[in-house]
A and B are shown apart, each in its own frame.
Chain A
Amino acid sequence: MKIFVCVSHVPDTTTKVNVAGDGRSLDPAGVKFILNPYDEFAVEEALKLKEKNGGEVIAVSVGADPAKEAIRQALAMGADRGILIKGDKSDAFSVAEMLAATIKANSPEIVLMGKQSIDFDGMEVAPMLSELTGMPSATVVVGLTIEGGKAIAEREVEGGKEKIELSMPCIIAAQKGLNEPRYPSLPNIMKAKQKPIEEVASTASGARTAVVTMTKPEKKRVGKILKVESDAKATAHELAKLLHEEAKLI
């Protein structure tokens, strides 16, 4: 089974966001970049599929050289080789276009990725890739079984779950809960350094969106913090009164 897993290199979740001098991007100073947490579920699922069916796991990323770190992390978890598409990843459609070209050239039987990258949070690449490759996709996937030439994906929806049947080959965008990603062992981290990462050129035809500004949300807070002195009931009464009379929420 030829398995593709798309990975992205994103700021760590503990990052304090500062806006760069251009006024429309993240200032990377002091920011630690990691493998996108949702992609870890995709890599784990890819490795499980390989363990069951044999084959090869190929980790693909779009970006400049530092994106190789995300690929290395996937290789350390157990992926066999990597492909770095050297292109601009700031426009989701362009990313989908570049991935689609590489996928068409390699004909994988399944493509896995995280449901979203925790930088732009757009959740767009998997559905766009589905359109561009003609492979059906399912997003926010928390369960996956493949049998009889079909995939059954269980996905989270508002207030419940749904099961989607997909023809193969297909694209699966993973949600937390799909599996428990493994930690790379030290020998595997060493081995990953020797695994090949092929570089391919961008095939993007041009961005369809543009960022105008990036700002940090600013909000004035009322900041009325009460303290329970001796009588929790009295304090609860006071808070309820504020929510009723001042905030007018109840």
Chain B
Amino acid sequence: MNILVYFEERNGQVRKPSFEAIEAAKSLGATSVSAVIVGANTSAAITDQAKKAGANKIVVVDDARFGEYSSNAAAKAVAEVAKQINADVVIIPATTRGKDLAPRVAVRLEAGYIPDVTQFSTEGGKIVATHPVYAGKANVTMEVTTAKKVFSTRPNLWKASKDGSSEAAVESSSVSFDESDFSDRVKELSLSQGKLDVAEADMIVTGGRGMKGPENWGLIENLAAAFGAATGASRAVVDAGWRPHGEQVGQTGKTVSPSLYVAVAVSGAIQHLAGMSSSKTIVAINKDPNAPIFAVADYGIVGDAFEVLPHLAEEIKKIRAH
């Protein structure tokens, strides 16, 4: 089985979910894993990161016009490379960009596509992929019924492959583009400095309405900093305008699966639980012992968050300083 993995680059870095996708590809028993990088003037610094990821081959598609990323043109590039190397399977990390790119690649390859895969298994030579539905209230296992197959893999669930034992060969591939391929162009990217996104964070500290107001958010941020975690918010908090929607966890926000999820003063509405209950370890802090969040918690404290948080941040910092 020949597998092609899409490597997503941003600001000179190959993003972590790309390395995880290599690991996912290997778990399928690939005979050969190639990685494709699509960009403008792709530097050696970028291919060097890719070379050590454990892929057999790195294919670079370079065109100056990718200085303004285009999902449509990138889809053409990935699909063309998939054809050139005769890939049976294409795996694309289920990042915001990947979730836009993967369905396009599938259409171009006349392949079936399963989005946001959380687990693979192979049964009798068939690939069965697990995809959470209803914001994680259920899982479906699915099969692609076409010969070529496209999957996107959810970040944080496979370990990032960086075996580095052998260096993959880097090739460039020529894909010819028309001006009409660049019918969408990213003109501007603005990132909030130093902020971890909940969708990709390995640890998250989320605050709920029990925090009483945005002026108390420093307590959440302080605890998050102690863990090295991203901060999340419940829907009530976002609807009240205390925090931006990008931080919302739950059914109409982001579905997350970090190693550690700390819910502070979050009661645990069914929509919130749906978005975070696949987290590996869940910690709840709430003064209401009957809050539904405790039903999904591994560890918890029944107590006043305003009293507990400063102490907990101190204790975590102490342990991490050792």
Residue B268 interfacial (CB < 8 Å): no
Closest chain B residue, CB of each to CB of A115: B99
Are A240 and B96 touching (Cβ within 8 A)? no
The one of A119, A127, A176, A219 in contact with B133, judged by C-beta atoms closer than 8 angstroms, is A119
Docked-complex contact B112 and A225, CB < 8 angstroms: no
Asked if B142 lies at the interface with its beta carbon under 8 angstroms from chain A, I say: yes
Also in contact, A127 and B71, with CB within 8 A (given A14-B270, A214-B139, A219-B277): yes
Q: Among the listed A139, A177, A209, A236, which residue makes an inter-chain contact with B114, where contact means beta carbons less than 8 Å apart?
A: A209
CB-CB contacts of B299-320 with A at 8 A, as 1s and 0s? 1111110011001101110111
Cβ distance A162 to chain B, nearest Cβ, rounded Å: 5
Are A122 and B134 closer than 8 Å at their CB atoms?
A: no
Q: From B128, B184, B191, give the contact of A136 (CB < 8 A).
A: B184
Using a CB-CB cutoff of 8 Å, which residues 144-163 of chain A contact chain B?
A: 152, 155-163
- Interface status of A1 (Cβ within 8 A of chain B): no
A121 to B294, CA, bound (A): 26
Main secondary structure of the interface of A (DSSP, over half): mixed
User: Which B residues are in CB contact (< 8 Å) with A221?
Assistant: 282, 296-298
Mask of A224-236 contacts with B, CB within 8 angstroms, 1/0? 1111100011011
> Residue of B at shortest CB range from A213?
B141
The interface on chain A, measured as residues whose beta carbon lies within 8 A of the other chain's beta carbons, has a size of: 85
Interface-located stretch among B23-31, B83-91, B164-172, B195-203 = B195-203
Q: CB < 8 Å: which of A163, A175, A244, A247 contacts B186? A: A163
Asked whether A26 is an interface residue with its Cβ less than 8 Å from the other chain, the reply is yes
Q: How far is it, in angstroms, between the C-alpha of A97 and the C-alpha of B185 when the chains are bound?
A: 25
**Distance of B243 from chain A, by nearest CB (Å):** 12
Q: Is the CB of A240 within 8 A of B315?
A: yes
Instruction: Flag whether A249 is at the interface (Cβ < 8 A).
Output: yes
Instruction: Choose, from A15-23, A47-55, A105-113, A193-201, the stretch at the interface.
Output: A15-23
Q: Is the CB of B185 within 8 A of A164?
A: yes
The answer to whether B137 touches A216, judged by C-beta atoms less than 8 angstroms apart, is: yes
Residues of chain B in range 50-88 having any CB-CB distance to chain A below 8 Å: 71-72, 75
Query: Which of these, A17, A93, A223, A240, contacts B138 with CB under 8 Å?
Result: A17
Number of interface residues of B (CB under 8 A): 93
- How far does the Cβ of B288 sit from chain A's closest Cβ, in whole Å? 12
Residues of B within 8 A of A249 (CB): 203, 259-260, 281
Using A123-B115, A139-B100, A247-B281 as known contacts, say yes or no to A228 and B143 having CB atoms under 8 A apart. Answer: no
B103 interface neighbour in A26, A121, A128, Cβ under 8 Å: A128
Decide if A30 is an interface residue (CB 8 Å cutoff).
no
Interface-located stretch among B40-48, B209-217, B245-253: B245-253
Q: Which residue of A lies closest to B295 (CB)?
A: A221
Residue from A13, A122, A226 within 8 A of B116 (CB atoms): A122
Q: Across the interface, do B144 and A209 meet the contact criterion of CB distance under 8 Å?
A: yes
Interfacial chain A residues near B101, Cβ < 8 Å: 127
Q: Point out the residues of chain A lying under 8 angstroms from B190, CB to CB.
A: 160-162
* Interface set, chain A 1-43, CB cutoff 8 A to B: 11, 13-17, 19, 24, 26, 37-38
Which residue of chain B has its CB nearest to the CB of A221? B298
Residues in B107-144 with C-beta less than 8 Å from chain A: 107-108, 111-116, 128, 131-144
Q: Which among B103, B188, B312 is the interface contact of A240 at CB below 8 angstroms? A: B312
**Which residues of the other chain, B, contact A219 by a CB distance below 8 angstroms?**
277-278, 296
Q: Which residues of B contact A202 (CB under 8 A)?
A: none
* Residues of B close to A216: CB separation below 8 A: 137-139
A192: CB under 8 A from chain B? no
In the bound complex, how far is the Cα of B244 from the Cα of A145, in angstroms? 21
A116 to B67, CA, bound (A): 28
- Sample of 18 further A-B pairs with CB below 8 A, known A96-B103, A131-B103: A14-B271, A17-B138, A119-B134, A124-B103, A127-B71, A130-B104, A136-B184, A156-B245, A159-B196, A159-B197, A212-B141, A217-B136, A221-B296, A225-B297, A232-B308, A243-B283, A249-B203, A250-B320
Q: Which 7 pairs across A and B sit closest by C-beta, in order of nearness? A: A228-B303, A208-B112, A240-B315, A160-B191, A236-B311, A136-B183, A131-B107
